[in-house]
Amino acid sequence: MRGLTSDHAEIKNILLRLRPYENKEQMFLLYQKKKKRWMIGLIVVGIVSALYVHGGSQKEKRLLDGNLLVRNVWDAGNYQVDLNVKTKEWDHSFSYLVKEKAYTREEAEQLYRKFAGELPSLICGGNQTLQEVTEDLKLANAYKDYPFMVSWSSTDQDRVSSRGKVNRKGLEDEGQWVTLHALVREVDTGLEQELTLKVFLAPEKLSEEELFFRRVEESVISMDKVSAQKEIVTLPVSVEGKELTWKETKQDHSIFILLLFGAASLFVGRAMDHDLQKADRKRLKELQKEYPEFAGRLRLYLCAGMTARNAFGRVAQDYAERTGKKKRLFLESEMKIACNQLSNGLPEAQVYQEWGARCGEMRYRRLGFLLSVQLKQGNDRLLQLLEQEADVAREDQRNQARKEGEEAGTKLLFPMILILIMVMLLVLLPAYVDFGTI
């Protein structure tokens, strides 16, 4: 009990350190509730999964009467069984693959007769009957619920292919009969039989317009064959007494290209705006990060007796020496501009206020205003204000660090949940698969 109490006290102290402005007892109660919900939830999921797997493993035993293994019926699949064999001296465990039940010759022949009777309806596809075929046939290599392999051939591959593709082009007045041959085999028993089926391809039903342009296509093909040895192909000028006017149609993708690049330009514009806003946010965050050190350095030089102008210039020099040839900080750039303005004779008050406005961050604007006011009030008042500014800046920095830590924790929560789900799947999936083969 004493150990549990000390653990609770440590947790309360940690929570208080993380969130010093909130009620310690209330934070502890919320933390405990959240922890219990996660723990109870995981335990419940574990219990349900364990019961499911246990029920599956006990539902049907494969080993009967001590030495009999039950096969799955055909098409139910093979299954893996873990066996343990013992003698008086030894004990051995191993896994064994039990294959599904195969058909006997008599069972295969009986099933073949049923298959032969149902085959016409199985290959119809979208057609009502094989005596009026208008759509492709379903000539598959295997059919559900039957253990047979089927090989197809056709007496007219141009009209009906071995894959069931139907071509009725040109069948305008009368249809056409086509004979299909199916070689049916059962691998385990060696059964092999051949079936013959006749299908009737119904004639095409074309409109007057479709029939006319079919004649035009045939005329073009005929004239192309006649002029195969010539450099020029002559197109017909009339068909069935109707004059023909020819025009070459070209695919013009210019509109598509214009729209595509227009959309790309909008996307690039939006992306550039987004990058610009992102860079501005990065700049603002950098300025916020640098403010405590900047305020501290400025106060240090002022305490040493420097004027505000000399202290400001010395801080700018420190930043320049620190960065050197590295990438210049935004604060350093703004301070350099301010120092150049002071060298050019601009009033100090104006320079400090413009410097704070260019930085764009509230604390810099406030500091620029304080520097401009101190010209009239003196350094004593400015030092007090800078000390307050430094304290506030350090507190803001701590709050910002805590906020970034919370955001990082929130971003990691989802990947951690995914990892937990993957681990649970890796643990439970093999058990579910073994149960599914029972």
Rounded CA-CA distance 313/315 in Å is 5
182, 73: one domain: no
DSSP string, 121-134: HHS-TT-S-TTSB-
**Token output for 375:** 């010209």
DSSP 99: P
124, 69: one domain: no
CATH number of the CATH domain containing 117? 2.60.40
Strands (E), 266-332: none
Q: Which carries the bigger pLDDT value, residue 138 or residue 240?
A: 138
297, 335: one domain: yes
302, 338: one domain: yes
* pLDDT value at residue 2: 47
Asked if the structure places residue 382 within a domain, the reply is yes
Asked if the structure places residue 251 within a domain, the reply is no
Asked if the structure places residue 51 within a domain, the reply is yes
Total-model pTM: 0.44
Sorted by sequence, the CB contacts under 8 Å of residue 203 that are 6+ apart come out as 168, 171, 172, 173, 174, 175
18, 119: one domain: no
Helix, strand, coil % (nearest 5) of the chain?
A: 60, 15, 30
Q: Which carries the bigger pLDDT value, residue 18 or residue 68?
A: 68
Max alpha carbon distance in the chain (Å)?
Answer: 115
Summarised one tens digit per residue, pLDDT across range 187-246 is 888 888 898 999 988 887 766 676 777 778 888 888 888 878 888 888 888 887 888 888
Inter-residue contact 146 to 184 (CB < 8 Å)? no
91, 128: one domain: no
Asked if the structure places residue 247 within a domain, the reply is no
Rounded alpha-carbon distances, angstroms, from residue 139 to 154, 175, 180, 184, 397: 11, 21, 10, 12, 74
Rounded CA-CA distance 389/290 in Å is 13
Summarised one tens digit per residue, pLDDT across range 325-356 is 666 778 888 888 889 888 888 888 888 888 88
Summarised one tens digit per residue, pLDDT across range 149-161 is 999 999 989 888 9
68, 52: one domain: no
68, 84: one domain: yes
Asked if the structure places residue 138 within a domain, the reply is yes
DSSP 160: B
**Token output for 409:** 């924790």
The helix (run of H) or strand (run of E) holding residue 84 is strand 79-86
Asked if the structure places residue 120 within a domain, the reply is yes
19, 130: one domain: no
345, 392: one domain: yes
Asked if the structure places residue 262 within a domain, the reply is no
* pLDDT value at residue 62: 65
Number of domains in the chain: 4
Q: Are strands 191-201 and 176-186 parallel, antiparallel or unpaired?
A: antiparallel
Average pLDDT, whole number, for the chain?
79
Handedness of CA 21, 23, 26, 28 (dihedral sign): positive
295, 379: one domain: yes
310, 341: one domain: yes
Q: Give the domain range for residue 49.
A: 2-59
Asked if the structure places residue 125 within a domain, the reply is yes
